Structure formats: C-alpha cells, structure tokens
C-alpha cells in the first residue's frame, strides 16, 4: 500500500514528560480541574455513559493484552465501565495492511511520533480531532505546548491526536562488569570522546569470554541526535546524509563499531540484536538507547543509567524528545467515545497513575508529580532516574513521510562504515539510494 501524499512534516519538539492531564466526573476531562462549560461537560458525561466498543492498535511489537491492560486498559475500563475494550497487537509489518484488507475497524492507534508516518499517515487513517476538542471544551493549554505544536504541524493546523507520554535516550551500564574489571562507573556529563575511550577500555577477552564496551540503537540515537541534523530535507525531500551535522552525528556513533572486538556481529544493527547481548548474555558493558529501556531491563541484571554523553562543543545538550500519541482513526465508528479516552489519558487521575509507573509528565506544570516518578516500579528503586530525561533537550529535527526510507539507507551505510568503507563515500551513496527510492515513491 503506497504512502499517502502529505506535505506537513513532524517536528519532534522539546517536551518534558509522559502522560497528560485532567479530571473526571461529569465535567469535560480536558478542562482545568474539570471546570468545563456545562454544555461540554454534559455532552461528555452522556457519551461516557453510553455503551461503546473501542478497538486499540499499538504500532510496535511486543505489546500483549496484559501489557496493554496494565499500561492503559485497566484504568480506562475503570473510568468507563460501559466501554468494551479490544486490543490488537502489532505482530509484524503485514498486520495493519492485512487488517485493513479484512475490513477490521480500529478506533484508537497508539504510536510514537517516529512511526506516525509509517502507520497512521501511510494508510490514510488520520482524522482531525479539532472539532471534538471544541465540542467537549477540551483545554489544550494544560499540556506542554510543544506536544500540541507537533500535531498542528503534522495536521497542517489541525490535530490528529493527543500526547500520552514521551521518552528520550540515555546510557545504561552493567555495574557487575565494571566491578569485575575494576573500572569506574560512567558519570553524568561525560563527553562522547570520554565514552569512546571507556568503551575501548572495556572491550576485551577474559577467561575465554569476549566482552564489548558499548552497543546501541543507532536508529533511535540518530533520530534523536543532539546536533539536530535532519535525515530528509522537508522541502526538497532530498537526503541530508552528507550535511556536516549529520555526518558528525553519524560518524560519532559509527566509530564505536570500528573498535577491535566491538564490531557489528553478522552486520546486525537492529535494536534487539544490540540490546540482547547487554541484558540477556550480559557480555556488554554499556548500552545507549531510549530511556524506556529501563522497563525492559527491570531486575534482570545489576544496572544503572546516566544521561546520554554529550558533544564536547555542546555541553549540557541532550537528545531530542520522543513523544507517543493516541490517535483517533478516520474509520472509527465511535469517535466521540474514543475522544473521551484521549481526554482521560491526559487527566490528572491517569497522570498520577502513569508517573508512578515510571513515565514522565507532559503537563505544562508536571513538577508536582515528579516526586512519585517510578514509585510503583520496584526495579527503579535506587536507580539514577533523574537521567531518564536530559536536563536540556536538543532542538527538534523535522520528520517527513519518507523517514523509513532514510532509516533503511542510513543503517546500510553503517554496516559499510563498520566494515571499513570511507564514511564520506558510504553516506553519499546512501543519500543517492534514498533519493532514488523517494523519487520512486512520489510517483506512485
């Protein structure tokens, strides 16, 4: 199925958090403390009390019914006992097209901003909720402004969804390996150059076992890169791989795979192939990726985290933010009921629950809930959770509908560079391939 032609682009703006807010009861969930106008509040109450079936779809692999219910469903069902919830997991790239072909209805899609173009827009499922926000007097001013600005840019002034959480990137480390080799733990504020030297120091063989200093999710780190280098120009739709900032950000990460003994095994650069050796085999000292990696590690190993290393000429500038959204599908037959759910996941009640679960706040003023961050997750006790988000986000980069093409060719260049190819040549050829693929897509 070909990409929907859309001219709006996504700017991953700075935000501070993870699940937005409002109050329940008989008043509009999006209003300050629930104090909506009577018209909106009465309408919301009526819809909330009317039985409805809502189907949810998450655009990433690994979500089970249990995970969905624990993260969202149980709270939604408690708030709306008259709603019947159905969850459909993402089990592969063909799941969504197969569902569409079969006529399967989806009411709410849950997606990161990075995958929004690949799913919501690619299959022409977007729906502007602007009129629903007006109908139910939803107060957007309570949310961190950049989360709304992202949607307005995406929808050409409209809105397709409301934010539910955000993450960024951090550096995780295996304390046991550092202890084993007598090496001091990583520290806050480290530069990438210092991290590179640390990775070299920890890449070794001991007792017949090989150890790597650092693995990472290159795709995510480039998506959130601290130099704010875009992959694709949002006007010409040409690859920007050869720009100075992109090359610097890319080469900074690629060099780690050129450390002897720290290379890409079997040319595998997927997130799973980089993460598994860190927490399953536990033969990797450090792992750099999304901050939500903490939810995977849990208590499987003796780990901790620090903020992602910085460029020495940009001290204090962390990675960009990476929000997730609840989107109402164009094909939903229960859009009003679906909107009540969107309003609820941005409510104070749900916000307090999710912060305790280890998510950050996307309220304009979410500081009052910061003290309870992760309180409901025993595996976060004693961890350096202040590094979950950077002190300062990098400026946002622009994402286009061709991000998937850019990612594919950028990662192909990584394999070539890790294998010894000149970085300038690899990126130039990758840009040429991306441009050709984008041009072909535009003709469809």
Burial 427-439 (b: 16+ CB within 10 A, else e): bbbbbebbbebbe
> Which residue spans within 134-271 are E strands per DSSP?
161-167, 169-174, 204-206, 209-216
Looking at 3.40.190.10, 3.40.50.10490, 3.10.20.90, 3.40.980.10, the CATH number of the domain 169-319+402-442 comes to 3.40.190.10
d(CA 165, CA 324): 5
CB 199 within 8 A of CB 286: yes
Residue 6, classed as helix, strand or coil, is: coil
The answer to whether the beta carbons of residues 276 and 283 sit under 8 Å apart is no
Q: Which residues pair with 212 in a beta bridge?
A: 284
pLDDT at 93: 59
Q: What pLDDT does 176 receive?
A: 98
Domain with CATH 3.40.190.10 in the chain: 10-166+322-380, 169-319+402-442
**Nearest residue to 42 via CA among 131, 129, 137, 128:** 137
Please list the ranges in the chain whose pLDDT falls under 70: 1-40, 92-94, 267, 366-368
pLDDT tens per residue across span 202-247: 999 999 999 999 999 999 999 999 999 999 998 899 999 999 999 9
Helix axes 335-344, 38-49, angle to 10 degrees: 110
CA-based end-to-end distance of the chain: 10
pTM, two decimal places: 0.81
73 φψ region: left (φ > 0), alpha (ψ -120 to 50), beta (else): alpha
Bridge partner residues of 83 (DSSP): 52
Contact between residue 336 and residue 4 where contact means Cβ atoms under 8 Å apart: no
Beta bridge partners of 54: 85
Could you tell me the two tokens for 424?
């300038």
Q: Identify the residue whose tokens are 């920007």.
A: 240
CATH number of 10-166+322-380: 3.40.190.10
**pLDDT at position 33, please?**
37
pLDDT of residue 321: 84
In 309-347, which residue ranges form alpha helices assigned H by DSSP? 335-344
Partners of 52 in beta bridges: 83
């Amino acid at each position: 199925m070909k990409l929907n032609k859309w001219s709006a682009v996504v700017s991953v703006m700075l935000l501070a958090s993870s699940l937005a807010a409002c109050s329940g009861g008989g008043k509009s969930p999006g209003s300050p403390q629930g104090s909506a106008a009577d018209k909106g509040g009465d309408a919301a109450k009526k819809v909330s009390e009317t039985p409805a079936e809502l189907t949810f779809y998450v655009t990433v692999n690994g979500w089970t019914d249990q995970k969905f219910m624990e993260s969202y469903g149980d709270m939604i069902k408690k708030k709306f006992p008259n709603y019947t919830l159905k969850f459909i997991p993402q089990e592969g790239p063909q799941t969504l097209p197969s569902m569409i072909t079969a006529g399967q209805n989806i009411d709410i899609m849950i997606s990161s901003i990075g995958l929004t173009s690949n799913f919501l827009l690619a299959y022409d499922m977007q729906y502007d909720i602007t009129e629903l926000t007006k109908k139910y007097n939803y107060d957007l001013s309570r949310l961190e402004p950049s989360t709304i600005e992202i949607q307005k840019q995406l929808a050409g002034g409209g809105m397709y969804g409301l934010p539910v959480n955000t993450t960024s990137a951090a550096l995780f480390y295996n304390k046991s390996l550092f202890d084993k080799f007598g090496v001091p733990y990583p520290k806050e504020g480290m530069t990438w150059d210092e991290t590179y030297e640390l990775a070299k120091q920890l890449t070794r063989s001991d007792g017949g076992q090989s150890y790597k200093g650092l693995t990472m999710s290159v795709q995510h780190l480039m998506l959130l890169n601290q130099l704010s280098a875009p992959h694709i120009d949002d006007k010409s739709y040409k690859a920007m791989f050869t720009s100075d900032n992109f090359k610097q950000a890319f080469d900074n990460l690629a060099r780690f795979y050129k450390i002897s003994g720290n290379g890409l095994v079997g040319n595998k650069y997927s997130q799973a192939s980089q993460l598994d050796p860190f927490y399953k085999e536990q033969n990797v000292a450090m792992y750099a990726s999304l901050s939500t990696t903490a939810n995977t590690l849990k208590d499987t190993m003796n780990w901790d985290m620090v903020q992602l290393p910085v460029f020495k000429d940009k001290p204090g500038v962390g990675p960009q933010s990476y929000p997730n959204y609840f989107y109402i599908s164009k094909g939903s037959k229960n859009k009003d009921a679906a909107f009540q759910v969107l309003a609820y996941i941005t409510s104070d009640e749900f916000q307090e629950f999710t912060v305790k679960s280890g998510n950050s706040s996307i309220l304009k003023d979410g500081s009052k809930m910061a003290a309870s961050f992760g309180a409901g997750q025993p595996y976060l006790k004693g961890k350096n959770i202040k590094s979950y988000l950077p002190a300062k986000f990098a400026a946002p980069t622009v994402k286009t509908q061709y991000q998937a093409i850019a990612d594919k060719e950028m990662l192909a260049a990584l394999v070539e560079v890790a294998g010894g190819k000149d970085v300038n040549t690899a990126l130039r050829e990758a840009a040429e391939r991306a441009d050709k693929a984008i041009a072909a897509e535009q003709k469809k």
